[in-house]
Amino acid sequence: MSDYDAIVIGAGVIGAATALALSRKNLRVLVLDKGAEAGHGSTAGSCAIIRPYYSTLDGCALAYESHFYWNDWEAFLGVPDERGLARYVNCGCTVMKTPGNGHLKRAMELMDAIDCPYQDWDAETLLDRLPWLSTQSYFPPKSQDDPAFGEPNGETLPGAVFFEAGGYVTDPALSTHNLMRAAEAAGAEFRFRAQVTEIPGDGQIEGVIANGNETIRAPIVVNVAGPHSDKINQMAGVTHDMTIRTRALRHEVAHVPAPPDPSFAEKATVFSDSDTSAYTRPERGEFMLIGSEDPDCDVPQWVDPDEFDRDFTDQWTTLVMRAGQRVPTLGVPSQARGVVELYDVSDDWIPIYDKSSRPGYFMAIGTSGNQFKNAPVAGEMMAALILACRDGHDHDADPVTFDLKHTGRSIDLSFYSRNRTINPDSSMSVLG
């Protein structure tokens, strides 16, 4: 009696990747999105940075694996897109060594454990490779109203670690469109301006109601609604057994002219700096994006995803000025440009890729500002989990494992469980 084998709620990068993976397993998949286009939710605002360093072994393993998917995007998709394909700029990522991150000793141990290459740079090498930087320390990060804001503390930083398996994807919304086209080629259907308004019943999933009046039947529903994830979970009545919940966090990203260094276009990498608490990446057309690493002095802006301020605030200026501490030639433009978007943050900043208490209801949520990169692998991981549960596997009692085909490791999916305890190794920030 079902119209489809599975309904995916949300056509963001992770929803589209999940639809692709399920369709490739021969499920009849329908993706519903209340928006007008694929990837036009929080994915569109993503900095789309690809990097292998996370705070946990599994986090690093999954992220390193994702590099290989983006590196061979065309082959992974297997079909063309009339809009063209998103491009992975594999420029690498440089992370400052600071006392606060233990001079990245743990990060290098994690890279060794997953066989991921990196280079340990002293300050001289760092300034040779990225000559527009300063190595002065400003720690701890401060808010603009602190009289010491922008004052160096007299120390200098000893260098950085460079991770080759990283960079950024040129257009996150286009990459989602690419995934949609691949999913359609595998049989999936996408419907836009179709808002899920009800998930009826309280036992086995039977389907959803769209736009208040249309019943669509399927025995599997996957919540990939990004910052709306908790609202969808409440609709499904599945929050009672979840120890980890999700909520929407407002963030601004600044888009500014790149520093006026003639070697910037050739040499720039993704750059992460916990000393000033700003991360940057090059953007085409000699621009740079600046995002925040959520220092303790910044008050988090938890919001209702249906009601938040899309205008820039002081957060934007603070970001640009923090980046300017590390890049002294960076100007502060008079006109704010960039994006204002939402992270879907879990309680420990690690996503939930899991089943639920309701048979047939799954979730790929809590992506915490750091899971764009993992979307193609997360889609396949979700498909493996969903099929195992459909075939009677008790994932809560005996967690499904997922093999990473490029890097050869296995991930125990209880790492992403909805009812885990807070992971003590997490950075509790966008770094994951």
36-44, 135-143, 293-301, 379-387 -> range binding ligand FAD (CB under 6 A):
36-44
Rule CB under 6 A: say whether 12 interacts with ligand FAD: yes
Site track for ligand FAD across 169-208, x = CB under 6 A: --------------------------xx------------
Q: How far is the CB of 242 from ligand FAD (least distance, A)?
A: 17
- The residue among 266 and 306 lying less far from ligand FAD, judged by its C-beta, is 306
Rule CB under 6 A: say whether 373 interacts with ligand FAD: yes
The C-alpha atoms of residue 411 and residue 408 are separated, in whole angstroms, by 10
Interface with ligand FAD (CB under 6 A), residue from 181, 250, 251, 418: 251
Q: How far is the CB of 432 from ligand FAD (least distance, A)?
A: 9
Interface with ligand FAD (CB under 6 A), residue from 118, 138, 361, 372: 372
The C-alpha atoms of residue 403 and residue 418 are separated, in whole angstroms, by 21
Rule CB under 6 A: say whether 357 interacts with ligand FAD: no
- The residue among 163 and 343 lying less far from ligand FAD, judged by its C-beta, is 343
Interface with ligand FAD (CB under 6 A), residue from 58, 283, 341, 347: 341
351: CB partners within 8 A, 6+ apart:
364, 365, 366, 367, 368, 371, 374, 378, 416
In DSSP terms, 343 is beta-bridged to 249
Rule CB under 6 A: say whether 41 interacts with ligand FAD: yes
- Closest Cα to residue 254, out of 86, 93, 40, 45? 45
Kindly give the pairing relationship between strand 118-122 and strand 167-169: unpaired
Interface with ligand FAD (CB under 6 A), residue from 6, 22, 24, 46: 46
CB 243 within 8 A of CB 357: no
In DSSP terms, 402 is beta-bridged to 411
Q: How far is the CB of 245 from ligand FAD (least distance, A)?
A: 16
- The residue among 230 and 275 lying less far from ligand FAD, judged by its C-beta, is 230
73: CB partners within 8 A, 6+ apart:
85, 86, 87, 88, 175, 178
Rule CB under 6 A: say whether 253 interacts with ligand FAD: yes
Q: How far is the CB of 132 from ligand FAD (least distance, A)?
A: 21
The beta strands (E) that lie in 143-244 are given as 159-163, 167-169, 189-191, 196-198, 207-210, 214-217, 221-223
Q: How far is the CB of 38 from ligand FAD (least distance, A)?
A: 8
Interface with ligand FAD (CB under 6 A), residue from 20, 21, 32, 62: 32
Kindly give the pairing relationship between strand 207-210 and strand 214-217: antiparallel
**Distance set, CA 338 to CA 142, 290, 314, 404 (Å):** 22, 9, 13, 35
The C-alpha atoms of residue 254 and residue 320 are separated, in whole angstroms, by 7
- The residue among 138 and 279 lying less far from ligand FAD, judged by its C-beta, is 279
- The residue among 34 and 358 lying less far from ligand FAD, judged by its C-beta, is 34
| DSSP-derived secondary structure for 97-117 | --GGGGGGHHHHHHHHHTT--
Rule CB under 6 A: say whether 165 interacts with ligand FAD: no
Q: How far is the CB of 122 from ligand FAD (least distance, A)?
A: 27
Q: How far is the CB of 415 from ligand FAD (least distance, A)?
A: 17
Burial class for 281, CB neighbours closer than 10 Å (0-12, 13-18, 19+)? buried
CB 349 within 8 A of CB 424: no
68-76, 153-161, 363-371, 395-403 -> range binding ligand FAD (CB under 6 A):
363-371
Q: How far is the CB of 120 from ligand FAD (least distance, A)?
A: 24
C-beta neighbour count of 132 within 10 angstroms: 18
Residues forming contacts to ligand FAD in the complex (CB under 6 A) are 9-15, 32-35, 40-43, 45-49, 195-196, 224-228, 232, 251, 253, 291, 339, 341-343, 367, 369-373
